[in-house]
Amino acid sequence: MLAIITNSLVPCNGRFPAIIAIISMFFVTVQGFMGSVLSALWLTGVILLGVVVTFLATKLLSGTLFRGMPSSYTLEMPPYRPPQIGSVIIRSVFDRTLFVLGRSVAVAIPAGIVIWLMANVTVGDGTLLSVCADFLEPLGRLFGLDGVILMAFILGFPANEIVIPIVLMAYLSGGSLIEVSSLAQMRQILLTNDWTHTTALCFMIFSLMHWPCSTTVLTVKKETGSLKWAAFSMLFPTLLGAAACMLISLFS
């Protein structure tokens, strides 16, 4: 249970592109070999922060929510035998690949419809996306972000990869997800919309510590058999991320 709840505190493949992009745009200004080294050090620091927070969160949960609950971990080693290539391929395709893809499609299609509607349906003088972003603006500012960023994280629940494209879509008032041609162009768009180094740092921290993606939540529900634990696996890292961002915003 501790591993399940703290699983999302270490960045997954979906969060790496956004974190790397923010590091390159705001925290590493030199180019060439030294720039690559500094970017790698920054990224390593972010990953290590996730590991440290995972240990601290595990300690906290062990002393509170799971206090006094015995736990054990037994690993049964299977018998060694020559690999059966055909069996491995079949099991990988049907038990893993198709299962994960099926769940992803089941979530991605409704999510894509919601994002398109919010970006194209007009309410008053703005779209649903801009109205919701304006509503979330005070809370976003409290976290060192803004309403658009917070809304992008919410709409990015199906997949973390789409958070930055949603941010750009909202800033540019586009009707579909947007990709820019270069980091320099992206940086200019973000600076035009009042991004600072504090905003960028809070974005990275919240990317590191917030609710897991929809596929992970579905997996938690399946493994635990409980909606309660699935909800808690979303709430706990989000509270940690919100608290960290508020502290950064307060003292920056």
Residue 135: is its pLDDT beyond 90? yes
DSSP 104-158: HHHHHHHHHHHHHHHHH-EETTEEHHHHHHHHHHHHHHHTTS-HHHHHHHHHTTT
Q: Is 3 within the bounds of a domain?
A: no
C-alpha atoms less than 13 angstroms from C-alpha of 45 in its C-beta half-sphere: 12
Least confident among 71-85, 114-128, 203-217: 71-85
Q: Label residue 234 by pLDDT band (50, 70, 90).
A: very high
Torsion, Cα 16 48 35 156, to 10 degrees, reads: 20
Least confident among 87-101, 121-135, 218-232: 87-101
Name the percent of the chain lying above pLDDT 70: 95
Per DSSP, the chain holds a count of helices (H) and strands (E) of: 12, 2
Q: What's the structural domain count of the chain?
A: 1
Residue 71 pairs in a beta bridge with none
Least confident among 149-153, 160-164, 208-212: 160-164
Q: Label residue 103 by pLDDT band (50, 70, 90).
A: low
Q: Is 218 within the bounds of a domain?
A: yes
Q: Label residue 208 by pLDDT band (50, 70, 90).
A: very high
Name the percent of the chain lying above pLDDT 90: 54
Contact 148, 170 (CB under 8 A): yes
SS3 29: coil
Phi, psi of 232, deg, nearest 5:
-70, -35
Q: Is 84 within the bounds of a domain?
A: no
Residue 12: is its pLDDT beyond 90? no
Q: Is 76 within the bounds of a domain?
A: no
pTM (two decimals): 0.86
Domain limits at 102?
Answer: 10-51+96-251
Q: Is 167 within the bounds of a domain?
A: yes
The structure tokens 């600072």 sit at 196
SS3 122: strand
The token pair that represents 75 in the structure block: 């690993």
Q: Is 221 within the bounds of a domain?
A: yes
Q: Is 63 within the bounds of a domain?
A: no
**Letter for the amino acid at 235?**
L
The structure tokens 């003088």 sit at 125
Q: Is 132 within the bounds of a domain?
A: yes
